[in-house]
Amino acid sequence: MPFKTLPDDKNFTDEVKRAILDELDSFVESYRIQNKITTRWKKPLIGFAGANHPYIRSLKEIISPTHLMPEDVLEGATSVLCFFFPFEEETVRENIKGDTPSPLWATAYPETNTMFVHMANHIKSLIQSWGYRAELPSDIGKISEQQLYSNWSQRHFAYAAGLGTFGVNNMLIGKQGCTGRYFTLVCDLPVIPDEPRQVENCLYKREGKCLACVRRCPVGALSPEGFDREKCFARVKENSKQWGNTICGKCSVGMPCSFKRP
Ligand code: B12
């Protein structure tokens, strides 16, 4: 056991987080070199969502009865470790121009998704080396024309883990903004979970002004009243003819919330 403090102690949770963040630094560095990829990420953010937090327990009601619970992924799960990997600024800035995705943005999507699986398996081994268990959720991206939502919402777990709040652009906005990707790993570490953030990070939701994302969406899928999933999906499907993936991201780039909490 590499920790100085006892499980369930606040210091234990801090030490676990520190150890994971340190491991992520070296993992990402060597992954990039070994796999000769283009995408660059800033330092990741992590948080723990409590498996028994009332918000997590209500996901079947909020989202769908088919949404999975942490224990469906790992029996005896105590928490969901949530990761946010913010993109380097160049990836984001390049996507500001025009109404179709830029090459760096398009590359970042598959490269980040592939990295996530390796990264999470690496952190799973780290957690196992401490004598605990961890498991990756599967089928997280599986959607269909009939069901345009996943049974494993990365962002709802990340919200419960205090990593951000939802903006009018329907993106989860955190300390490092909203331009990046989320992933999760279910585990049985006896950590003290984080709590959802009480203050809105979206300028409009907090102060009633902005709506830059509403003006920017190329297909009018956003409004203060909500997100038109069908319109957005039609657009990203169109983009996938060129790029092979359902991407766009115009509602998140060139925004006050792109890189920080505005
Ligand atoms: C299906 C899907 C899509 C579909 C449908 C869109 C959608 N939002 O569902 C399509 C293909 C259209 C799409 C588009 C995009 N996607 Co997408 N997508 C997913 C996927 C696979 C599942 C999302 C899902 O079904 N969630 C469950 C549903 C019910 O939740 P939801 O759609 O997020 O809606 C909830 C929020 O709006 C929330 N909400 C809104 N306001 C508030 C307020 C409060 C207080 C609370 C609690 C909740 C809340 O409540 C809604 C209902 O529960 C996730 C990965 C995953 N497995 O989670 C990525 C994901 C959501 N996509 C992502 C991205 C980046 C995009 C795009 C920018 C495309 C791109 N890469 O260029 C666009 C952006 C669209 C947008 N503005 O939302 C990121 C979002 C990152 C972020 N910062 O938030 C995710 C998380 C992928 C990842 N691994 O990081 N996507």
Name the residue with the closest Cα to ligand 1, atom 1: 149
Q: Is 201 in the pocket of ligand 1 (CB under 6 A)?
A: no
Paired residues of 135 in beta bridges: 186
Residue 15 CA to ligand 1 center (angstroms) comes to 31
Paired residues of 80 in beta bridges: 49, 186
pLDDT of amino acid 141: 63
CB-based contacts of 245: which residues, under 8 Å, 6+ apart?
106, 109, 110, 239
Residue 182 CA: nearest ligand 1 atom is 90
58-90 pLDDT, tens digit per residue, is 999 998 898 999 999 999 999 999 999 999 999
CA dist 37 and 107 (Å) reads 9
Q: Which of 104, 105, 149 to mutate to test the pocket of ligand 1 (most atoms within 8 A of CB)?
A: 149
Q: Is 235 in the pocket of ligand 1 (CB under 6 A)?
A: no
Other residues' Cβ atoms within 10 Å of the Cβ of residue 254: 16
**Top-confidence residue, 262 or 148:** 262
Name the residue with the closest Cα to ligand 1, atom 32: 149
Which run of H or E residues covers position 239? helix 229-243
pTM recorded for the entire structure: 0.95
Q: Which residue has the tokens 């920080």?
A: 260
Q: Which of 83, 107, 153 to mutate to test the pocket of ligand 1 (most atoms within 8 A of CB)?
A: 153
Q: What percent of the chain has pLDDT over 70?
A: 97
Residue 262 binned pLDDT confidence (cut-offs 50, 70, 90): very high
Exposure string of 212-244, with b = 16+ CB inside 10 Å and e = fewer, is bbbebbbbebbeeeebbeeebbebbeebeeebe
- pLDDT tops 80 at residue 147: no
Average pLDDT over residues 127-142: 88
